[in-house]
Amino acid sequence: MADILEEMAEGVLKGKIKDMKGLAEKALDSGLTPNDIIFDGLSKGMEVVGEKYESKEYYLPQVLLSAQAMYAALDVVLPILKSQGGGIDKGTIVIGVVEGDVHDIGKNIVKAMVTGVGMTVHDMGRDVPLKDFVDKVEAEKANILATSTLMTPTLAGMKALESMLKEKGLKGPCKTMVGGGATSKEFADQIGADAWGYDAIEAVHIAQELVKK
Domains and CATH numbers, the chain: 2-83 (1.10.1240.10), 92-212 (3.40.50.280)
What percentage of the chain carries pLDDT values higher than 70?
Answer: 98
Are 196 and 185 within 8 A, CB to CB? yes
pLDDT at 125: 97
Of the candidates 201, 208, 71, which has an alpha carbon nearest to the alpha carbon of residue 144? Answer: 208
Could you report the per-residue pLDDT of 48-101, keeping only the tens digit for each? 998 998 899 998 899 999 999 999 999 999 888 877 765 556 899 999 999 999
3 state SS of 83 = helix
The confidence score (pLDDT) of residue 200 equals 85
**Contact criterion met (CB below 8 Å) for 143 and 211:** yes
pLDDT at position 121 is 93
Ranges of the chain with pLDDT below 50: none
